[in-house]
Structure 1
Amino acid sequence: MTAATAPAEDVEASPAIHTSGLTKNFGAQRVVDDIDLIVPTGSVYGFLGPNGSGKTTTIRMLLGLIRPTAGNATILGQPIGHGDARILGRVGALVEGPAFHPYLSGRDNLLRIDAADLNADPATARRRVAEALDRVGLAAAAGKRYRAYSLGMRQRLGIAAALLQPRDLLVLDEPTNGLDPQGTREVRSLLAELNADGVSVLVSSHLLSEVEQICSHVGMMRTGRLVTQGPLAEVRRSAQQRLTVTTSDPAGATAVLQEFAVAELTPIDGGVTGLMGEDQEPEAIVAALVNAGVGVRGFDVARPSLEDLFIALTGEGFDVSG
């Protein structure tokens, strides 16, 4: 059952990821500051943040790669500790780019990874490796040495490694890094297929257009703190909308808009623009403008894009290498 069809109470009762007060200090520097992350079961959760926001450090704590300074986390309903193999066996991950043996082929690299998995059946290893390679479009390059792989091919191999076993949760850090538009589309389609099969996904990405297309939920980090999270539609609705009135009477329009508490009113060529809240009704504003004798040639309400919202919440451009 996907996030779109799962009852809300079921999703909230058992999140795929849930942290409480999760904190990480490196010496005197606090990198992750008391975050309560909730990734609903069945969701595709876009984890966003500028450089140095603490996003990757959070992911590393979730996977047991580093210990938190304070707080706790549950993965798939179970508390996670340092290197907890019982839980992490149900999680596929790609963090900070894939690393493989350069002189081995893609197939042999995956076979070595599979052999190190105590939960993997050696009798089915070659079949599962072949299926994983085929799923990410590397079947034809399975015998090629890793050192000859392009950046995009290396990224695909990393995703294949995360899919060697059936997973309940995927944690992917920049999964489309280095991919061309076609490869990016294929990864987007793959994540949609996995999610439709019941796999929850936490994905970080610097491609906001991709996040808007594949994610049902988002969370945004800034300087170690989680500044917002929730269903993508709700997060976007929480932002003020840009209202633009095209009129030959901008002064009269401004007076009416002030009565509706439209913020940041600014004259523009041929009209006036400002920010309105979700609770303000465009129909009522249009009626008030007409009743006040303001000639309305055009009336537009634009909901902010995810990029607009990101900049408004973090105050900076988008760079999620941290």
Structure 2
Amino acid sequence: MSTGVLDPARVGQGSGDDTGPLAVRTDGLTKRFRSGQVAVDDLALRVPRGAVYGFLGPNGSGKTTTIRMLLGLVRPTGGQAWLLDQPMPDAGAAVLPRVGALVEGPAFHPYLSGRANLDRLAAVDATADPRTAARRRDEALERVGLGAAAEKRFRQYSLGMKQRLGLAAALLQPRELLVLDEPTNGLDPQGTREVRHLVRELADAGTTVLVSSHLLAEIEQVCTHVGIMSRGHLVLQGARSVLAERGQARVSVTTTTGHVGAAARVLRGLGLEEPVVDGLRLDAPVDGLAPEDVSAALVRADVPVVGFEVRRPSLEQVFVELTGEGFDVAR
């Protein structure tokens, strides 16, 4: 399904027209379960190195299945996937130590403390320096706000605290790629803001972050690139700055009493649709016309312009336009 998808080969870190190294790439990635359900269908994912890639869509759209295939937890029915230029799952032993991941609900030993759980994970990581394990463990706990609860048993943690410990586990050592599946699940607004800040901090340090969520408005604040899933298909992909321009822009003009009719005539004369009038404000789609041409035409017609605003649709509005469903839909 290619509707609405930008050319993957031309997805870059800036304008969306660059080609560059990719941290994550898939070609034709497909997962079909024995029941016949196709969870992921012919996926061509492109995550540029250094990007914060918002992998978005409703619950049940195929995001978690995709992530599990990327990490080698589930074998695809068809297609291929690469992480950091290495084929998965074949090169998993070599590439996964360079990848931090939080997938679905984190699982830890219930009767061990948060600190002890991280100690066990650090001990089995053959690529990490054991001499720095304690320092890295404590730094990870502090970064996710669990320093004061480090000695509490995992089974006593709230859902949000469990999610934070999962994040700490992914941060036990520096990673080139961080894959976070619904990282704000169970977190209160303050915790969500902290995760948002953490993602920005990691990206500024050079880590590529792929973060999946059904909360588009939250992730939109930090992502540089976006991929939107619907019913197992990638329906939209590219740099956020490019995607934000793909929807139909609208112009909103506010004038003064007695000039609404004249303003409407100007807009119609420019070939715009019949404007929606609300008091002294007129609203109409721009339809490719430069906004400055609209304002200039109003001034030439001696229409007082008290307010002039150009609005582009949010990513969520673009998603609804392409798929016909909102982000609270589960399938």
TM, length-normalised to structure 1: 0.87
8 Å contact 2:15–2:239 — kept in the other structure? no
SS of the residue aligned with 1:12? coil
SS of the residue aligned with 1:175? coil
1:199 Cα shift? 0.6
Aligned residue number for residue 297 of structure 2: 288
CA 1:291/1:156 → structure 2, altered by over 3 Å: closer, same or farther? same
Q: Does 1:301 align with 2:301?
A: no
Aligned residue number for residue 29 of structure 2: 22
Q: How does 1:1-322 map to 2 (within 5 A)?
A: 12-27=19-34, 28-81=36-89, 84-246=92-254, 253-254=263-264, 256-258=266-268, 260-262=270-272, 265-277=275-287, 279-291=288-300, 296-319=305-328
8 Å contact 2:114–2:152 — kept in the other structure? yes
Query: For the aligned residues, what is the CA RMSD?
Result: 2.7
Q: Which whole-Å CA distance do the structure 2 matches of 1:136 and 1:271 have between them?
A: 47
1:203 Cα shift? 0.5
Q: Which whole-Å CA distance do the structure 1 matches of 2:40 and 2:90 have between them?
A: 17
Size of the alignment, in residue pairs?
316
Gaps of 5+ in 2: 1-12
CA 1:296/1:41 → structure 2, altered by over 3 Å: closer, same or farther? same
Residues 12-54 of structure 1: per-residue CA shift (max 9 Å, x gap): 3320111112111123222212121111100111110012211
Give the counterpart letter for 1:186 in structure 2: E
8 Å contact 1:63–1:83 — kept in the other structure? no
8 Å contact 1:66–1:82 — kept in the other structure? no
Q: Which whole-Å CA distance do the structure 2 matches of 1:145 and 1:217 have between them?
A: 38
Q: Which whole-Å CA distance do the structure 2 matches of 1:232 and 1:80 have between them?
A: 27
1:254 Cα shift? 4.8
Give the counterpart letter for 1:23 in structure 2: T
Q: Which whole-Å CA distance do the structure 2 matches of 1:261 and 1:107 have between them?
A: 66
Identity of aligned residues (%): 59
Gaps of 5+ in 1: 1-5
SS of the residue aligned with 2:244? helix
1:131 Cα shift? 2.2
Q: Which whole-Å CA distance do the structure 2 matches of 1:120 and 1:312 have between them?
A: 47
